[in-house]
């Protein structure tokens, strides 16, 4: 299925769900790496769709890690209740799907029924993404381009982990990547293309993916020629998903 067909089918399903469920004020579909795939908001709502995509991916990643380490199981969903809104997120095979409900509206019809509707919707959308070329798998692209990468970390602009593959604990390595990126920007008082920390036998490359996400990658090389190849490969990947 082509990108256009996939998005059209997702839009049809979401528009129908919005029409039948007035309590939904926002819906976000993101890749597991935090890239926005699709968003829809009520006309009265103003959200930063890219920021929401990255934040929801972080929330699910942290919840998933905590749940695995505590129970040895996968999470089914995450829910956050506030006085005005309810946030509900579902992790599927291919996407992270999230909605924001108007609490007053949802309380009238019952949250359980609304959750089931949303869960069914996201399962259908996950199947559409799986059979189309919408999906972005940043980790796979990096591993193909740099197969000897020792660690790959993606964090959001607040430093929260989105996806991590590292021998170091997720909160620690995420904090390091975020701190180094922030300090580099402060130091130059400018946009930073990349930061490279090198030792005798290895290097760590930190690069901004987009406004909402930061990438950190460890490689077993410190020679300029090799590092330039890695950096060029990362630039190509980031340009492809932009």
pLDDT score for 111? 85
- Mean pLDDT, rounded, of the chain: 88
Q: How far is CA 168 from CA 3, 143, 172, in A?
A: 37, 18, 7
- Min mean pLDDT across 5-9, 119-123, 131-135 is at 131-135
Instruction: Describe the strand order of the beta sheet including 161-165 as a list of residue ranges.
Output: 161-165, 151-156, 213-219, 203-208, 195-198
Same fold, 3-130 and 138-241: yes
Look at the domain 3-130 and name its fold.
Beta-Lactamase (3.30.450)
pTM above 0.95, yes or no: no
Percentage with pLDDT > 90 across the chain: 50
pLDDT score for 32? 85
- Local confidence band at 135 (pLDDT 50, 70, 90 cut-offs): low
For 224-240, how does the pLDDT look when each residue is reduced to its tens digit (9 = 90+)? Answer: 989 999 999 999 998 88
Architecture of domain 138-241: 2-Layer Sandwich (3.30)
pLDDT score for 57? 86
Domain ranges of the chain: 3-130, 138-241
For 83-118, how does the pLDDT look when each residue is reduced to its tens digit (9 = 90+)? Answer: 999 999 999 988 899 999 999 988 877 888 899 999
Total length of the chain: 242
Percentage with pLDDT > 70 across the chain: 95
pLDDT score for 18? 94
- Local confidence band at 125 (pLDDT 50, 70, 90 cut-offs): very high
Task: Tell me: pLDDT of 44 over 70.
Answer: no
């Amino acid at each position: 299925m082509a990108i256009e067909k996939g998005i059209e089918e997702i839009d049809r399903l979401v528009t129908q769900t919005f029409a039948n469920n007035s309590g939904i004020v926002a819906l976000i579909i993101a890749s597991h790496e935090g890239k926005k795939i699709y968003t829809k908001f009520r006309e009265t709502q103003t959200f930063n769709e890219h920021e929401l995509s990255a934040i929801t991916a972080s929330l699910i990643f942290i919840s998933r890690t905590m749940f695995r380490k505590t129970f040895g199981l996968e999470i089914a969903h995450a829910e956050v209740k506030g006085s005005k809104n309810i946030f509900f997120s579902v992790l599927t095979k291919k996407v992270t799907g999230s909605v924001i409900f108007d609490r007053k509206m949802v309380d009238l019809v019952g949250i359980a029924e609304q959750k089931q509707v949303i869960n069914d919707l996201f399962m259908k959308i996950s199947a559409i993404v799986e059979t189309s070329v919408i999906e972005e798998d940043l980790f796979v692209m990096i591993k193909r381009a740099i197969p000897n990468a020792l660690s790959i970390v993606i964090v959001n602009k607040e430093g929260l982990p989105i996806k991590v593959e590292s021998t170091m604990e997720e909160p620690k390595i995420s904090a390091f990547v975020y701190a180094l990126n922030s300090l580099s920007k402060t130091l130059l008082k400018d946009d930073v293309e990349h930061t490279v920390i090198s030792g005798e036998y290895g290097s760590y490359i930190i690069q901004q993916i987009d406004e909402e996400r930061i990438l950190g990658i460890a490689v077993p090389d410190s020679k300029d020629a090799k590092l330039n190849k890695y950096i060029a490969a990362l630039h190509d990947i980031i340009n492809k998903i932009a």
